[in-house]
Amino acid sequence: MIYCVVPQELAHELFDKLVDYYADDPNVQVIVDRRKGERRRRGPSGGGDRRTRDRRRARVPGEFPPV
């Protein structure tokens, strides 16, 4: 499913046009973004105890043989 998200400020002029444009494609759904504010919390209550880590695998010791 592909979501075509229209900002609420532009919904009155774009929503109907985009619904008509994607009417033949069942994999596309046009929706209006109705969020009022940022969902992520700032400060000590949001996120808990998070740490940044290097997630790459450790390199194998040694070197490549000559080619």
In whole angstroms, give the CA distance from residue 47 to residue 42: 8
Which of these ranges, 2-6, 20-24, 35-39, has the smallest mean pLDDT?
35-39
What pLDDT is attached to residue 59?
A: 78
What pLDDT is attached to residue 41?
A: 66
Which of these ranges, 15-19, 45-49, 51-55, has the smallest mean pLDDT?
45-49
Provide the percentage of residues in the chain whose pLDDT is more than 90.
Answer: 49
What pLDDT is attached to residue 51?
A: 74
Helix (H, G, I), strand (E, B) or coil at 65: coil
What pLDDT is attached to residue 62?
A: 85
Question: Computed from CA positions of residues 9, 12, 16, 17, in that sequence, does the dihedral angle turn out positive or negative?
Answer: negative
